[in-house]
Every structure is written in C-alpha cells, then in structure tokens.
Amino acid sequence: MLANTFDFGAYRGRFAPSPSGPLHFGSLVAALGSYLDAKAHNGSWLVRIEDIDIPRVVTGSDSLILSTLENYGLYWDGSIRYQSECLNHYQEVLNTLTNAKQVYACKCTRKEIKQHGGFYTGHCRDLELAFEQQALRLKQSLPTYQFNDLFKGNIIVESKFAEEDYIIKRRDGLFAYQLVVVLDDIEQQISHIVRGADLLFPTVRQISLYKLLGAKVPQFGHLPLAVAEPGFKLSKQNYAAAIDMDKPQQTLLAALNFLGLDTEAQLKSATVEEIIQWAVNTWQREHVPANDEIQLIPSDNSFTFKPL
C-alpha cells in the first residue's frame, strides 16, 4: 500500500534516469545537482532506473549510467529501484483509482486533440468505453495551478494544462511516466525532487496526484536544461561524447560551472572525490541559474555557456 505516513524530517533526494543511452552532459547536470542538494542538506540520494518505456530502453545503458555515476564520484544510498520490477504495484494503484471511478478510457487521437485546441477537455469522460486497447486517463479533480520551485520561485501554469485529464496508462499498455514517477517517489519516500527544467510544467500534474493519493507533496527544484540550440535538448547525436570516462575532472568542473558554482583554480588538479567534497561544501541554491535553458558552446576540450 502507499506509504503516506513516513517521517518527512529527513531529506531524501533521487536521480531517476531513463536507460535510453549513456549519461550525457545534460543528465550529468541533473545527477550532480540532485546529489549536491541532497548532500549539502545531510540527505540521502537514491537512484532509480526509469525503464518503464520499454521501446526506448537500450540494453546495457543502465549499467553504463551507474558506472558513469561512480566514475564521477556520485555514490548512491540504498539499492537501485527498477520500474520494470514494480509493475504489480502500479497495477494495484491503477485498480484502486479505477474502483474509485477516477479513471476512464479515451479513444481520442493526438491529432483530434490538436484540432480541438491542443488541450484535452474530457471528450471521453462519460462515454464509459472499455479499457482494452485504449489510453486510460485520470480525472483531474484536484488541479494544481502553481507551486514554489526551490530554484525558480513561484511557477504558474496555464489553467487548461493544469485541468487536463492526463494519460496514466498508454494505449500500448505501458504505464505512463506521470503515474509511475509519483508512485515511485512515494514508495521511496522522496522528500526533494531536483531534476531538469524539461519537467517543470508536468510537476503540477504530479502534485495533483500526490494530493489525490493522500500523500505528502515533496519539494521540487528544476535545474536549467543543457541545450545544443534553443529548444533542443542534448541528445546522443550532439554532445553524448562530452562525458569523459577516463578523465572525468574536467567535465565535472564544467558541470559545476553550469550549476553556478565558481570553481577555484586549484580544483583543476584535484581528484574527483576532492571536487565533489568541495562542491557539497560550497553548494547554495541561490547560485543555481534560474534560466530554463543554457546553451553549450564547445570550445577546445570544454564548453562555454550561454544562458537563454
């Protein structure tokens, strides 16, 4: 059952990569930012492999991600959670929500929703369609319109977005990220979620789900997203090579600069462990740039950054 009575005094952070490829500079920033915020607050830091989206899973990339984290001095607490091992739990919660009449099947295509203005306004809510081979949506009875971000302050979303009945199980039968991320963060008793700003707006859906489940809402903080061009996340095609496994120091220092830490010159010859220790001691949320995106511009063996 859902754990909603745990002690929230303790800081428990997490990094939740999708194993769709190796860690690149952007995912390193999310790993590092969540780690530093946890450790600077004497917290623990957990790692969860979000392998729910089976078609996107690349075999072996989970172990590659984990060994990269170790190489960069980012050691996790406790054991690794794999979403693929939690399907029974997700289904149980889905059944509970279904019995409570909170879930319905939807036959609308993406194209149809787009034609009707881009937001889903509950077309199939009362049609009582059979669940088989349809997407399942959660009735949005507790819309969240704003929240206070640890780095970016008050975030307000469009009300049409906040009020959408969003998909919790996809037509192809896979559980949707929006559902399982919350169920896992509740199960793992996560108190602080620090991640990339690509997930800034969906946070309101997640907060609504915590409330619906009667669980305590964690704190959210969104780090600027590393982009190759405005609006374009880093991908395997552009900067994946940035993660140097043999000489992680330089990339680590670049990632710290990206997060607003002014790395001192003497760190250039420090070990990975020394750099991480320095960063834990120096970390302050106020230093993190509040931008949604920062463009990486390669310059001999390193990067310069352009806040967007």
Query: Site residues (CB under 6 A) for ligand GLU?
Result: 16-18, 50, 181, 195, 199
Q: Residue 50: which of ligand GLU, Zn ion, none does it interact with, CB under 5 to 8 A by kind?
A: ligand GLU
List the one residue out of 285, 282, 296 whose CA is nearest residue 230.
296
Checking DSSP bridges between strand 192-196 and strand 167-169, what pairing results, if any?
unpaired
**Residue 50 Cβ vs ligand GLU, minimum distance, rounded to whole Å:** 4
Chosen from Zn ion, ligand GLU, none, partner binding at 108 (C-beta under 5 to 8 Å by type): Zn ion
Min. distance of Cβ 17 from ligand GLU in angstroms? 5
Which pairs with CB-CB distance under 8 Å and at least 24 residues apart come from 87-95? 87/175, 89/183, 89/187, 90/175, 90/179, 90/180, 90/183, 93/2, 93/179, 93/183, 93/213, 94/136, 94/168, 94/169, 94/175, 94/179
- Asked if 31 and 15 touch (Cβ cutoff 8 Å), the reply is yes
Q: Between 62 and 164, whose beta carbon lies closer to ligand GLU? A: 62
Q: Which is nearer to ligand GLU, 137 or 222 (CB)?
A: 222
Min CB(40)–ligand GLU separation in Å? 19
Binding site for Zn ion (CB under 5 A): 106, 108, 123-124
What type of residue sits at position 197? Answer: A
Which of Zn ion, ligand GLU, none lies near 123, with the C-beta cut-off 5 to 8 A by kind?
Zn ion
Pairwise CA distance, residues 292 & 303, whole Å: 18
**Nearer to ligand GLU among residue 152 and residue 195 (C-beta):** 195
Residues 6+ apart with CB under 8 A from 162: 140, 143, 144, 145, 204, 205, 208
Contacts (Cβ under 8 Å, ≥6 apart) of 95: none
270 binds, among Zn ion, ligand GLU, none (CB under 5 to 8 A by kind): none
Rg, Å, the chain Cα set: 20
Closer residue to Zn ion in complex, CB, 124/155: 124
Q: Which two tokens stand for residue 62?
A: 């989970």
| Residue 106 binds: one of ligand GLU, Zn ion, none (C-beta under 5 to 8 A by kind) | Zn ion
Choose among Zn ion, ligand GLU, none what residue 199 binds, the Cβ cut-off being 5 to 8 Å by kind.
Answer: ligand GLU
Residue 53 interface partner, choices ligand GLU, Zn ion, none, CB cut-off 5-8 Å depending on type: none
| Smallest separation (angstroms) from Zn ion to the CB of 118 | 14
Nearest-approach distance from CB 221 to ligand GLU, in angstroms? 11
Nearer Cβ to ligand GLU (192/253): 192
Least Å distance between CB 167 and Zn ion?
10
Residue 108 or 240 with smaller CB distance to Zn ion: 108
Helix (H, G, I), strand (E, B) or coil at 270: coil
Is residue 30 classed exposed, middle or buried when 0-12, 13-18 and 19+ CB atoms within 10 A define those classes? buried
